[in-house]
Structure 1
Amino acid sequence: MTTHQRQLLAAWRQLPAAAMNRSHYRSRYVVVDVEVAGADWQTDPLGAIAALAVADGQIDFQQALRVDVANGHAASEATAPPPGSPALLSIGEQRAEALLAFLGFVGKAPLVAYHASFAARRIERAMAESLGVELRLPWIDLAWVMASLFREIGDAQAPMDRWLAHFDVESIERHNAVSDAYVTAQLLQVTIARAARDGFETPTSLLELEKAHRHLYQSA
């Protein structure tokens, strides 16, 4: 990493943890989706990350980011390109630059994904390899949370398309990280509305709901 990149990483480490006991409508979630660099989604490495903020219950299109980890590029609605020419950086430094853009965008907010372990494994591995960071941010798996809140519709193994069809959420391009982050953000809005109605009013309560539903499923 360059000196500037080390400074960015140090600044991120100093950020305070998210206030996980605030209401959904006073919290910032970051919805995440990923693409792999290759044809085999099970074994190929991380290719790109798309992220979209849901702040105070609203999708914030000014807080949107896509980083190309494979090639070290970042495109954001929230931040200007980093100073200096990427061409002057090594491939490893360019990847670090892209991942640091993602970290800077996320801050310490809770991350949300559908079947979150898929995205979490790839992002956390890339962070460890390129930045030496053990990413310990909370991940909320929307598949498990929605299965708990909407048991009449589907279980945690249901494909996301079932939820999209039920709630009439239209996808621009399925399996494109940006498009899938957007529809996941819409599902998150549906989820927090139902959760708040049922007494699960904070990010922490979603994590607890997910944990309880996983335990119930594994005990069945």
Structure 2
Amino acid sequence: MSWLARFFRSKKPEVVLSPEQRERLERWQQLPDPDLNHSHFQTRYVVVDVESSGLNMVKDRLISIGAVAVVNGLIDTQDAFEVILKQEVVSDTANILLHGIGGSAQREGMEPADALLLFLEYIGKCPLVAYHAMFDHSMIARAMEKYLGIEFEQQWLDLAWIMPELFQDRIDTNVALDAWLNLFGIENIQRHNAVSDCYATAKLLQVAMARAAERGAECPERMMEIERVRRWLRRSN
């Protein structure tokens, strides 16, 4: 069990799903785990970004999820996902100005359990990718536990740790996503829009995959090892 699951375990709510929702959830749970030793260019990665009511991973609410797939090394503009979760309480004005999801859109969003099931069906059991993944993971995991009653323990890659290790000659520290996008000339059309952020991060993933493969890290498992080692080294210093 991950530290995140243990953290929220004491707050696990009672969840009642319809028979159809339960069947959909069970179908997802029965999917086989991916082979993380396949080449990057034989793998489906899903880049994820969320919008929330704030930056507090314990108290704030998940508002939307965006995702874009990178399949066999390529971004398919048709293979994308976006959903807004219905909010009983609309987030404040400053928050809405940040992500652009207005009060009406929040109130008229999809019922959270159905939105999260759609997300699970979209990602399957693929490895997920984000920049500063802890935030995205924690917001999604809290929602999964609250509305579906499950511990969400999908494999994640965090480019905020991987990129500085792969490109120590360029930026050997943890910086904002925009610094990497600017370095490689990657345009983000609409900052703080979940899907737009995902497209930009997907392009950065392509850069990371190519560099990792040059260095012999040719599969998701080896990329995850790069992240684990860098985290360990930073904690040790």
**Could you tell me which residue of structure 2 aligns to residue 87 of structure 1?**
none
RMSD (Å) for aligned C-alpha atoms: 1.7
**Could you tell me which residue of structure 1 aligns to residue 220 of structure 2?**
203
Secondary structure at the aligned position of 2:111 is classed as helix
Range that drifts further, 40-49 or 199-208: 40-49
Matched, 1:53 2:69: yes
Runs of at least 4 residues off by over 6 Å: none
Q: Matches of 1:5 and 1:180 in 2, distance apart?
A: 30
Q: Matches of 1:53 and 1:35 in 2, distance apart?
A: 18
**Could you tell me which residue of structure 1 aligns to residue 47 of structure 2?**
31
Task: Give the unaligned 5+ runs of structure 1.
Answer: 73-90
Letter in 1 for 2:63: G
- Same amino acid, percent of matched pairs: 47
Alpha-carbon shift at residue 144 of structure 1 (Å): 0.4
Instruction: Check conservation: 2:86, 2:111, Cα contact below 8 A.
Output: no
Matched, 1:160 2:160: no
Task: Give the unaligned 5+ runs of structure 2.
Answer: 1-16, 89-107
| 1:1-220 superposed matches below 5 A | 1-37=17-53, 40-42=54-56, 43-71=59-87, 94-220=111-237
Secondary structure at the aligned position of 1:44 is classed as coil
Q: Matches of 2:117 and 2:79 in 1, distance apart?
A: 16
In the alignment of these two chains, the number of paired residues is 200
Range that drifts further, 54-63 or 40-49: 40-49
What TM-score results when the alignment is normalised by the length of structure 1?
0.87
Alpha-carbon shift at residue 4 of structure 1 (Å): 1.0
Secondary structure at the aligned position of 1:32 is classed as strand
Alpha-carbon shift at residue 217 of structure 1 (Å): 1.2
Q: Matches of 1:156 and 1:100 in 2, distance apart?
A: 36
Q: Matches of 1:33 and 1:50 in 2, distance apart?
A: 5
Q: Matches of 2:86 and 2:229 in 1, distance apart?
A: 36
Alpha-carbon shift at residue 70 of structure 1 (Å): 3.4
What TM-score results when the alignment is normalised by the length of structure 2?
0.81
